[in-house]
Structure formats: structure tokens, C-alpha cells
């Protein structure tokens, strides 16, 4: 079998798996977030928290609870990271320096999972489990809650409430993420991912010794992918054989990244009473993902770039068992889902391949985006699309029976601007500092690309990196932390306010003048809007980095 | 403003209590449950250790450094196969250092194994994503057979048979790439210990 057939079959297997779970998982999530029953464990949680699970919250109340939970999460994680020497199984490691701990705490609470540390040499086993595994689940549940709140904004009419943040958080955790994570963790374990509490030192066959590292890896790995987090237990992330031992676990990991964001379009369709609308949004996500995959695979498998030409294939930074096809598939899926896990070094990808995965994040993480954030991101793009279409035909834009007025458009416009602004201001500030040149791990345009990648990844809450850059200076730790924090919570607050505004409206009847949105044409319009907004924003930046490198790096 | 702060503080109290319970559920019970399942398959959960005469010499999943002509060599590693420092080189596709390293590795392999530089496969001249890649391509293994056989006084057919035993095809027939596990292969060489 040729690599091409193998690669195409792998993609086909992935799509088949996603198609199989789309309806059952999508409908399950729809039931979870509309059910009036509380499970016993959930009641216990509400009792401990002093929460009335049947009390609905306004947009303001929803935001306040969400912000309070996230602030408390950052503080607790910070304490665990700094004070890890007091925990059991600390492997004799000291606490993290404060700036690295701030960066890491913000990183995991914002579902970014950017890592300025190397897991195996920095963190104890208890820290990873109590701190990072927990946030891998609950930060994803926060994203899920926000998406559900926005869906309720469309599904409800003349309602002053959006549901309860606490109920959405707890149900997303207990009924969606945890059961799926348990199954996934066991499958990974059977594939060879380790789950123990001891490092073993062996006398290596070829002489000397080698430490075979341990850790509660399988449980963390499952939620790392399922929650579109991406923070590796080890420095090499999913390229490490103990995180991702085989081609089969690799396929499972890509599936796990995509499964919740993809299935959420079904949940959305079910809850707003138009499953076709959900499919149209999924189609828009899928077109963007497939386009990025086609370009990246072509660049990587085609051996673009000087290093690949010199070596005979683009294998620098790639693992033998995955090869080029599965590495390209992983890279595109991780950048399209805001996961940020890597099974190969993105820094060593071809100029075009690395540039494409970077541009993929610049689309705003909607192909299909992170858990929850992908759905609310594409819905914001859809509102922008009906607005643009409304301008063209001169009618007040509507989506799913809700008028898109000036208040809604204000939230949408701010949402669209905030992340690109963070990226560009971050890059500009970093580049203005002379010390940034020393932080770059590669010369020329590629060094600039490392800085661009860092701020793009942080503000979009992706977390992958062009890893050659050294980001342990206090400047990078704090500016990237700020980009992650604002890039996560400013959009979230805007989305919940948007949801509140939509929920308050009455439903306008569909007339002959209403733009039908559950159509192929509208799906195309959404794709166009996403591409146009990011192209206009980022083209000059991309031109200076990967585009310049691809042109100067062409084989002579 | 004071109303917002008061509400935020009240919500924070709920948040602290919910988060602590969730930490027990997700940070203790969930990993412990997976750990308990791991005790059913301790070989995998503990890192797939490879034992020679009952003594662990490494993990079947992690590469090790093998220097000297009597061994099959693994891929170049950005961290010299340090088990506690996994890392790729992160050298960019146009980085002159990477281009020079590829040229040097190609020349070195060609010389050691007595083949033409153009016959050296890509995995032999590039560092992996983890620095701990346990595998090489069947092409790179085949290229090393005559040297290892000669150095160990074995006939090539025997060594080729051992390579075949350490070779895995694509999983399920179509997933990933065919690989040769270097540690398993070297451990199987007669007189390896």
C-alpha cells in the first residue's frame, strides 16, 4: 500500500468515526442541557456549592458566575504550581517560578494550554493530576456552557434568563466530558499510554542509563484531546511515544479533538429546531478544515522547503510511525480546534505547511473550533454573514427568527476585533524589543514567524507553538498570559451578553424577504466572511513571515 | 460597582466549593480509576518495558542511543535520547544549521555503511519530533544490515530475519507507516548483552 492510499484511508476512517457519533452524541448533549432531572452526584455538588440548580440566571448572572469560577480556578492552579513541593509524588521538583506559574495557570484555565515549561522536568505527578487534568476538563466545560447559553439565546423568545452557569458547567463535566474521557483513557492505556506513579531508571542496552518516565498520563491525555486543550504531559506532547504510542492512538487523538466541536452543531440544530442549520454550519467548518488539510498535506508530502529537499522528505521533527500524512492531519486538526497538541514539530514544517497551520488559527478557531468556542465562534461568523447579506439587499438582518440589530452587531463587531487586536499588538510590541531577536530559535523570516505564531496561538487559545522560540523571559510569560486571558474571556463575555440580548427578543416571523440561512449558499457566505475577515487582518503579517520564507526558500 | 463586587464575591464562595469537589472527582477519582484499570495491563501502564534475562533494559516505546558499528543506529535525536528531556530540534525548514546537519549526517551514514549518499533515507538524516522515536524505516534498517552482520560475525540472512521480526506493518493494514523497532531489534541480536 502506498503512503497516499494509507493517508487517504486514514482521513476516510476519521470522517467515518465522526459521522457515526455525530447524531447520538449531538442529541445526547441536547438532552443533557435541556433535561430537568438532576443526577445524585450533581445534587451533591450543588448542595456543597450552596447553589439552587433550578434558579435560572440572566446574562449578567451567568457572566458573574463564570468569571468567579475562572478567577478561583486560576488562583487554585497557581497555588498548586508554586507549592507543588508540598504535594505527594512531587518527584523532588521545586515549585514553579512565579511568572511561569502565572502563565501556566492562565494557560490551562483559558483552555489554551500553551506551555513555557517542559512537563517531565518541571512538574510532579500530583500537580499534573490535581491541577492540570482538572482544568483540562472544567475549562472545556466552561466553553461548552457559553455555547449552550448562546444556543438558548436563539432557542428562547422573550426570556430574561439563559439557564444556570453552574448547572451547565456541572452537567457538561459529569454527563459529557467525564464519561467520554474514561472510555478514551482506557483505550489510550490499552494502546500503550502509561498510567503509573514512578519513573524507572534502566541500564540501557547500548551502555549508560536511561530514565523511563512515568505519570498519570493516559487520564490526562484523554481530556487533553477531548477538551481541545492540548497541553502535553511531556515536552514533546503527542510526538512522545508515551503520550501517543501508535498510529491507532494517533487516529483516536485526532478523533477526540474533533468529536465534541463537530457534534455540537447537531446539538445546536436540535435545540433551535433546524438540524439543517446545524449541518450548514458544520459544512462551513468542514470546508475550512479540508482546505487547510489539502494545502498542508500537499506541502508536507510534496517535500516543500529546503530541509525536506535536502533530506529527501519532510521528516525533520516528525515521528517514523506517523510519517507525513498523519502528521499533517494532526497539525491541521489541532490548529482548527484550538487544541494545540502536536505530534510533530510545527517549527520544522515546510514554509507553506507551517504557514498554513498558523493561518488556520488566524481564522479564529472555527474549523471546527474548540469545545463550545467553535460553535459560538461560527455563530458569530454566521451573524456577521447575515449582516453583510442584509446590507447587500437592504433589509434588517435576521438569523433563526432573531433580528440582528445595532446592539447585537456591536457585540459581534467587538468579538471579531478583540483577538486580532491582541495578536497584532502583541507581535508589534515583541518585535519592537531588541531582546526578542535573542529569543528567536531560527534566523530570518522564520524567527519572525515564531513570534507571530506565539501571539496567534495565545490569543486564539490554541497553545501549539513554533517551539524554537524561548518564551521563559518575564516579558513573554506575562504578555502571552495577557493575550490568553483577554483572548478567552472578552469574547466569552461578549457572547453571553449577545445571548442575553437575543433571548429577550420576540421571534420575528419568516417572510418572503427573509434570507434563508439553512442553505448551501449561506454556508458559502459564512466561509467567505471567515476567510475575508482574517485575510484582511493578517495578510501583511503572513507576508513578512511564512510567505517570505516560502518564496526565498524555494529550491534553486 | 459595589453590587457587582458583592455578587462576584458571593459567586466566588460557591466557585471555591464547587471547584474543590470537582478537583476530587477529576483530579483524584478519575485518574485513580484509570490507574486501577492499568493494573490489569501492568505491562502497558508501566511503560512497556523490554526485559533481557529478566532485567529491564528500556521501554519498547522509547528509543535509545546506540553507538558503535555492532548496533543498528536509531534516528538522530535532538536530546540524545534523554528520557527526561523529550524535544524536537525545532530547526526551521530554511535554517542553515539544519541543512548543514542533514548534509553531515548523510555523509556519515553513507561512509559508515558503504552506500551512496543518495541511498540514505530521510529518517536517517532528520531528528524526530520527540527525540525518543523508537523506530526507523525499513529502508534505513536494511541499509545497516551488512555492517551489523559483518561487525558481529553473523551472516546477513540471519540479521535480515531479525530485522523482519522487529518490523511492524501499517496498523490494521492501513494506518501509519511501516516501522522497525530499534531497541527490540538490537536486543534480539545474538550476544547483544
Please tell me the total number of residues recorded for chain A in this structure.
Answer: 556
- Cell 512565579 belongs to A98
- Of the candidates A522, A410, A493, A427, the one whose C-alpha atom is nearest the C-alpha of residue A466 is A427
pLDDT at B97 over 60: yes
Residue of chain B with shortest Cα separation from A307: B93
Could you read off the pLDDT of A265-308 as tens digits, one per residue?
A: 999 999 999 999 999 999 999 999 999 999 999 999 999 999 99
Q: Is A79 on the interface with B (CB under 8 A)?
A: no
φ, ψ for residue A291, nearest 5 deg? -65, -45
Q: Is B45 on the interface with A (CB under 8 A)?
A: yes
Q: Are B130 and A240 within 8 A, CB to CB?
A: yes
Residue A112 near residue A335 (C-beta atoms within 8 A): no
Angle at A421 between CA A417 and CA A427, to 5 degrees: 155
Could you read off the pLDDT of A124-147 as tens digits, one per residue?
A: 999 999 999 999 999 999 999 999
Q: Report pLDDT for A551.
A: 85
User: Could you give the CA distance from residue B13 to residue A319 in angstroms, rounded to a whole number?
Assistant: 47
Q: Is B90 on the interface with A (CB under 8 A)?
A: yes
Could you read off the pLDDT of A398-442 as tens digits, one per residue?
A: 999 999 999 999 999 999 999 999 999 999 999 999 999 999 999
User: Could you give the CA distance from residue A326 to residue A202 in angstroms, rounded to a whole number?
Assistant: 31
Question: Which chain A residues are Cβ-neighbours of B120 within 8 angstroms?
Answer: 312
Residues whose CB is less than 8 angstroms from the CB of residue A322 and which lie 6 or more positions away in sequence, other chains included: A247, A250, A330, A343, A344, B176, B177
What angle, rounded to 10 degrees, do the helices at A247-272 and A134-155 form? 30
Question: Which chain B residues are Cβ-neighbours of A313 within 8 angstroms?
Answer: 121-123, 126
Residue of chain B with shortest Cα separation from A71: B12
Could you read off the pLDDT of A199-227 as tens digits, one per residue?
A: 999 999 999 999 999 999 999 999 999 99
Of A129, A220, A247, the CB nearest to B170: A247
Average pLDDT over residues B32-56: 96
DSSP 3-state of A201: strand
pLDDT band at A549 (very low <50, low <70, confident <90, very high): confident
Of B4, B175, B193, the CB nearest to A248: B175
Could you read off the pLDDT of A499-537 as tens digits, one per residue?
A: 999 999 999 998 888 899 999 999 999 999 999 999 899
User: Could you give the CA distance from residue A414 to residue B23 in angstroms, rounded to a whole number?
Assistant: 34
Q: Is B46 on the interface with A (CB under 8 A)?
A: yes
Residue B94 near residue A282 (C-beta atoms within 8 A): no
Residues whose CB is less than 8 angstroms from the CB of residue A413 and which lie 6 or more positions away in sequence, other chains included: none
pLDDT band at A451 (very low <50, low <70, confident <90, very high): very high
Average pLDDT over residues B109-138: 98
φ, ψ for residue A403, nearest 5 deg? -75, 135
Could you read off the pLDDT of A2-12 as tens digits, one per residue?
A: 999 999 999 99
Q: How many CA atoms lie within 13 A of B139 on its CB side?
A: 13
User: Could you give the CA distance from residue A357 to residue A373 in angstroms, rounded to a whole number?
Assistant: 18
User: Could you give the CA distance from residue A117 to residue A121 in angstroms, rounded to a whole number?
Assistant: 8
Q: Are B14 and A76 within 8 A, CB to CB?
A: no
Q: Are B11 and A71 within 8 A, CB to CB?
A: no
Question: Which chain B residues are Cβ-neighbours of A68 within 8 angstroms?
Answer: 8, 11-12, 14-15
Q: Are B45 and A208 within 8 A, CB to CB?
A: no
Of B66, B85, B122, the CB nearest to A313: B122
Q: Is B36 on the interface with A (CB under 8 A)?
A: no
Q: How many CA atoms lie within 13 A of A244 on its CB side?
A: 35
Q: Report pLDDT for A555.
A: 42
Model confidence, pTM: 0.97
pLDDT band at A353 (very low <50, low <70, confident <90, very high): very high
pLDDT at B2 over 90: no
Q: Are B11 and A319 within 8 A, CB to CB?
A: no
Q: Is A67 on the interface with B (CB under 8 A)?
A: yes
DSSP 3-state of A367: coil
Q: Are B31 and A323 within 8 A, CB to CB?
A: no
User: Could you give the CA distance from residue A136 to residue A89 in angstroms, rounded to a whole number?
Assistant: 20
- Of the candidates A468, A517, A478, the one whose C-alpha atom is nearest the C-alpha of residue A103 is A478
User: Could you give the CA distance from residue A90 to residue A123 in angstroms, rounded to a whole number?
Assistant: 7
Q: How many CA atoms lie within 13 A of A374 on its CB side?
A: 39
C-alpha cell recorded at residue B143: 541499509
Task: State the sign of the Cα–Cα–Cα–Cα dihedral A203, A208, A212, A213.
Answer: positive
Residue B149 near residue B33 (C-beta atoms within 8 A): no
Average pLDDT over residues A22-40: 97
Q: Are A206 and B64 within 8 A, CB to CB?
A: yes
- Of the candidates A292, A435, A473, the one whose C-alpha atom is nearest the C-alpha of residue A367 is A292
pLDDT at A371 over 70: yes
pLDDT at A556 over 50: no
pLDDT at A485 over 70: yes
Angle at B151 between CA B149 and CA B152, to 5 degrees: 65
Q: Are A351 and B170 within 8 A, CB to CB?
A: no
Alpha-helical (H) ranges within A156-246 are 165-171, 178-191, 217-226
Could you read off the pLDDT of A36-75 as tens digits, one per residue?
A: 999 999 999 999 999 999 999 999 999 999 999 999 999 9
- Cell 503520550 belongs to A243
User: Could you give the CA distance from residue B25 to residue A177 in angstroms, rounded to a whole number?
Assistant: 12
User: Could you give the CA distance from residue A327 to residue A290 in angstroms, rounded to a whole number?
Assistant: 15
Mutate to test the interface with A, among B8, B33, B34, B115 (most CBs of A within 10 A): B34
User: Could you give the CA distance from residue A274 to residue A261 in angstroms, rounded to a whole number?
Assistant: 18
Could you read off the pLDDT of A182-194 as tens digits, one per residue?
A: 999 999 999 999 9
- Of the candidates B60, B5, B82, B91, the one whose C-alpha atom is nearest the C-alpha of residue A350 is B91
Residues whose CB is less than 8 angstroms from the CB of residue A337 and which lie 6 or more positions away in sequence, other chains included: A228, A257, A258, A261, A365, A367, A368, A369, A370, A374
User: Could you give the CA distance from residue A234 to residue B63 in angstroms, rounded to a whole number?
Assistant: 15
Q: Are A242 and B47 within 8 A, CB to CB?
A: yes
Amino acid at each position: 500500500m502506498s503512503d497516499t492510499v494509507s493517508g487517504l484511508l486514514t482521513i476516510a476512517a476519521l470522517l467515518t468515526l465522526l459521522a457515526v457519533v455525530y447524531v447520538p452524541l449531538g442529541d445526547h448533549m441536547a438532552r443533557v442541557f435541556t433535561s430537568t432531572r438532576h443526577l445524585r452526584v450533581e445534587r451533591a455538588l450543588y448542595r456543597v456549592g450552596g447553589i439552587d440548580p433550578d434558579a435560572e440566571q440572566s446574562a449578567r448572572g451567568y457572566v458573574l458566575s463564570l468569571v468567579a469560577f475562572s478567577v478561583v480556578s486560576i488562583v487554585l492552579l497557581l497555588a498548586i504550581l508554586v507549592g507543588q513541593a508540598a504535594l505527594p509524588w512531587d518527584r523532588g521538583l521545586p515549585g514553579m517560578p512565579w511568572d511561569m506559574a502565572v502563565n501556566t495557570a492562565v494557560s490551562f484555565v483559558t483552555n489554551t494550554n500553551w506551555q513555557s515549561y517542559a512537563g517531565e522536568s518541571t512538574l510532579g505527578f500530583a500537580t499534573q493530576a490535581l491541577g492540570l487534568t482538572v482544568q483540562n476538563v472544567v475549562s472545556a466545560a466552561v466553553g461548552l456552557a457559553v455555547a449552550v447559553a448562546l444556543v438558548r439565546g436563539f432557542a428562547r423568545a422573550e426570556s430574561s434568563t439563559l439557564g444556570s452557569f453552574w448547572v451547565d458547567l456541572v452537567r457538561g463535566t459529569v454527563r459529557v466530558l467525564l464519561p467520554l474521557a474514561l472510555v478514551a483513557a482506557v483505550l489510550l492505556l490499552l494502546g500503550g499510554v502509561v498510567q503509573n506513579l514512578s519513573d524507572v531508571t534502566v541500564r540501557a542496552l547500548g551502555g549508560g542509563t536511561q530514565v523511563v518516565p512515568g505519570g498519570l498520563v493516559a487520564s490526562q491525555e484523554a481530556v487533553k484531546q477531548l477538551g481541545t486543550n492540548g497541553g502535553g504531559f511531556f515536552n514533546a506532547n503527542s510526538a512522545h511515544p508515551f503520550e501517543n504510542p501508535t498510529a491507532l492512538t494517533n487516529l483516536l487523538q485526532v478523533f477526540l479533538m474533533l468529536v465534541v466541536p463537530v457534534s455540537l452543531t447537531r446539538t445546536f440544530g436540535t435545540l433551535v429546531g433546524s438540524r439543517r442549520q446545524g449541518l450548514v454550519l458544520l459544512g462551513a467548518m468542514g470546508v475550512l478544515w479540508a482546505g487547510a488539510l489539502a494545502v498542508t498535506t500537499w506541502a508536507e508530502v510534496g517535500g516543500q522547503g529546503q530541509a525536506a529537499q535536502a533530506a529527501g522528505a519532510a521528516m525533520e521533527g516528525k515521528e517514523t510511525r506517523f510519517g507525513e500524512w498523519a502528521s499533517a492531519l494532526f497539525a491541521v486538526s489541532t490548529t482548527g480546534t484550538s487544541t494545540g497538541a502536536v505530534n510533530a514539530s510545527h517549527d520544522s514544517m515546510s514554509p507553506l505547511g507551517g504557514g498554513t497551520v498558523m493561518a488556520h488559527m488566524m481564522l479564529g478557531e472555527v474549523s471546527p473550533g474548540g469545545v463550545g468556542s467553535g460553535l459560538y465562534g461560527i455563530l458569530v461568523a454566521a451573524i456577521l454573514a447575515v449582516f453583510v447579506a442584509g446590507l447587500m439587499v437592504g433589509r434588517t438582518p435576521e438569523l433563526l427568527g432573531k433580528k440582528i440589530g445595532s446592539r447585537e452587531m456591536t457585540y459581534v463587531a467587538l468579538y471579531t476585533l478583540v483577538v486580532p487586536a491582541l495578536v497584532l499588538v502583541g507581535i508589534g510590541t515583541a518585535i519592537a524589543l531588541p531582546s526578542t531577536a535573542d529569543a528567536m530559535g531560527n534566523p530570518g523570516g522564520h524567527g519572525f514567524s515564531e513570534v507571530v505564531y506565539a501571539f496567534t496561538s495565545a490569543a486564539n487559545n490554541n497553545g501549539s507553538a513554533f517551539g524554537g522560540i524561548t518564551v521563559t523571559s518575564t516579558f513573554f510569560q506575562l504578555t502571552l498570559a495577557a493575550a490568553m486571558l483577554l483572548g478567552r474571556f472578552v469574547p466569552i463575555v461578549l457572547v453571553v451578553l449577545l445571548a442575553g440580548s437575543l433571548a429577550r427578543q420576540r421571534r420575528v416571523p419568516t417572510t418572503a424577504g427573509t434570507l434563508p440561512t439553512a442553505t448551501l449558499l449561506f454556508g458559502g457566505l459564512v466561509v467567505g466572511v471567515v476567510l475575508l475577515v482574517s485575510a484582511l487582518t493578517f495578510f501583511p503579517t503572513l507576508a513578512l513571515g511564512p510567505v517570505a520564507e516560502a518564496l526565498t526558500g524555494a529550491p534553486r | 460597582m459595589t453590587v457587582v463586587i458583592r455578587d462576584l464575591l458571593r459567586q466566588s464562595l460557591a466557585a471555591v466549593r464547587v471547584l474543590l469537589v470537582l478537583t476530587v472527582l477529576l483530579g483524584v477519582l478519575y485518574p485513580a480509576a484509570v490507574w486501577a484499570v492499568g493494573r490489569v495491563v501492568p505491562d502497558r501502564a508501566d511503560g512497556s518495558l523490554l526485559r533481557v534475562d529478566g532485567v529491564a533494559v528500556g521501554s519498547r516505546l522509547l528509543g535509545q542511543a546506540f553507538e558503535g558499528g555492532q548496533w543498528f543506529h536509531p534516528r538522530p535525536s535532538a536530546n540524545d535520547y534523554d528520557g527526561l528531556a523529550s524535544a524536537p530540534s525545532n530547526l526551521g525548514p530554511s535554517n542553515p544549521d539544519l541543512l548543514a546537519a542533514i548534509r553531515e549526517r548523510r555523509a556519515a551514514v553513507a561512509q559508515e555503511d558503504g552506500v551512496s549518499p543518495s541511498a540514505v533515507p530521510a529518517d536517517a538524516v532528520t531528528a524526530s519530533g520527540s527525540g525518543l522515536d523508537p523506530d526507523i524505516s525499513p529502508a534505513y534498517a536494511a541499509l545497516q544490515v551488512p555492517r551489523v552482520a559483518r561487525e558481529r560475525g553473523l551472516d546477513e540472512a540471519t540479521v535480515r530475519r531479525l530485522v523482519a521480526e522487529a518490523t511492524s506493518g501499517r496498523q490494521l493494514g492501513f494506518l501509519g507507516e511501516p516501522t522497525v523497532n530499534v531497541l527490540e531489534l538490537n536486543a534480539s541480536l545474538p550476544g547483544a548483552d
